[in-house]
């Protein structure tokens, strides 16, 4: 097993990419801290993974809750810290900017940018002190391009990519590695977070159309595993993974 003796914190572990990654990392021997807002989902996952003999700690927290994230960080520090952070929690309530859905903009900014920063802030100082660690941020193909209705979402993902690359440069001196994972369309619950009904229907139609074979969450979990199991001198800085049929 490639991750025996390692502990990973996975945010957004209650579904999709986070849940698939939790399963894969546990199968490779990692102990886990899994967090999200839906506690029942986390408990089900913990029960499943616990049967494989892995230690799993649940943290029910909204990543946009600065104090709540600080409490999780303190709990993690009391466990001795984590070796790996999978900074995955995210939301995508997209809509045209002309609609002025300011609450949804703020939700994306608070979750996708501030949440990512709070998690980094929670574990990075400890990693730097121990002179080892790996931070994996899940941005998106939308960290490289934009498309109508996704202005704010793409803005948050461009920000995650910029934060990742800056952190990568700063963290070299501490022996901490940073990877930015950029998935294309993955078959998950993410479109359910779109509140604008017409856009949600359009995105779901596109993502689940018969002519479009999306990625599976496990495809991204495999990419994450690749990034975190390279030799210590290797930093997989970015990985862009699209379904074969996705042009942009």
Ligand X SMILES: NC(=O)C1=CN([C@@H]2O[C@H](COP(=O)(O)OP(=O)(O)OC[C@H]3O[C@@H](n4cnc5c(N)ncnc54)[C@H](OP(=O)(O)O)[C@@H]3O)[C@@H](O)[C@H]2O)C=CC1
Q: Which residues are at the interface with ligand L7H2UBRR (CB under 6 A)?
A: 140-142, 184-185
Say which residues have a Cβ less than 8 Å from residue 4's Cβ, sequence separation at least 6. Answer: 28, 29, 30
Given a contact cutoff of 8 angstroms between Cβ atoms, the answer to whether 143 and 183 are in contact is: no
Q: Find how far residue 3's CA is from the centre of its chain.
A: 19
In the chain, % helix, strand, coil (3-state, to 5) comes to: 50, 15, 35
- Structure token pair of residue 130: 């121990």
Count CB neighbours of 175 within 10 A: 13
Site string for ligand X, 55-74 (x = CB under 6 A): -------xxx----------
85 binds, among ligand X, ligand L7H2UBRR, none (CB under 5 to 8 A by kind): none
Residue 116 partner contact from ligand L7H2UBRR, ligand X, none using kind-dependent CB cut-offs of 5 to 8 Å: none
* Residue closer to ligand X (CB basis): 10 or 171: 10
Rounded to a whole number of angstroms, the minimum distance from the CB of residue 140 to ligand L7H2UBRR is 3
- Catalytic: which of 153, 174, 208, 226? 153
Helices (H) and strands (E) in the chain, counts: 8, 7
Over the window 142 to 181, marking each residue x when it contacts ligand X by CB under 6 A and - when it does not, the resulting string is: ----------------------------------------
Establish whether 118 is a catalytic residue: no
Stretch that binds ligand X, among 24-32, 121-129, 182-190, 232-240 (CB under 6 A): 182-190
179, interface contact from ligand X, ligand L7H2UBRR, none, CB < 5-8 Å by kind = none
- Residue 140 near ligand X by CB under 6 A: yes
CB of 111 vs ligand L7H2UBRR, minimal distance in Å: 13
Q: Edge to edge, what strands does the sheet with 56-60 contain?
A: 56-60, 31-36, 7-11, 84-87, 133-138, 176-183, 238-241
Which token pair is 96? 């045209």
Residue 189 engages ligand X in binding (rule: CB under 6 A): yes
Q: Which residues are part of the catalytic machinery?
A: 153
């Amino acid at each position: 097993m490639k991750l025996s003796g390692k502990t990973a914190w996975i945010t957004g572990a209650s579904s999709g990419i986070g849940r698939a990654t939790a399963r894969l990392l546990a199968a490779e021997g990692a102990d886990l801290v899994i967090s999200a807002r839906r506690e029942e989902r986390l408990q089900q996952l913990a029960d499943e993974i616990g049967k494989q003999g892995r230690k799993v700690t649940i943290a029910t927290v909204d990543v946009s809750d600065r104090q709540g994230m600080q409490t999780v960080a303190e709990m993690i520090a009391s466990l001795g810290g984590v070796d790996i952070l999978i900074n995955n929690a995210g939301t995508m309530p997209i809509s045209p900017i002309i609609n002025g859905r300011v609450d949804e903009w703020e939700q994306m900014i608070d979750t996708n940018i501030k949440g990512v920063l709070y998690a980094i802030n929670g574990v990075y100082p400890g990693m730097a002190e121990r002179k080892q660690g790996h931070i994996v941020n899940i941005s998106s193909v939308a960290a490289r391009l934009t498309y109508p209705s996704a202005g704010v979402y793409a803005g948050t993902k461009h920000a995650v990519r910029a934060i990742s690359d800056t952190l990568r440069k700063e963290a070299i001196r501490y022996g901490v590695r940073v990877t930015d994972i950029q998935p294309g369309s993955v078959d998950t619950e993410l479109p359910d977070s779109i509140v604008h009904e017409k856009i949600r229907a359009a995105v779901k139609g596109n993502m689940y159309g018969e002519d479009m074979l999306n990625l599976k969450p496990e495809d991204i979990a495999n990419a994450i595993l690749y990034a975190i199991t390279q030799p210590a001198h290797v930093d997989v800085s970015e990985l862009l993974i699209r379904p074969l049929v996705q042009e942009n």
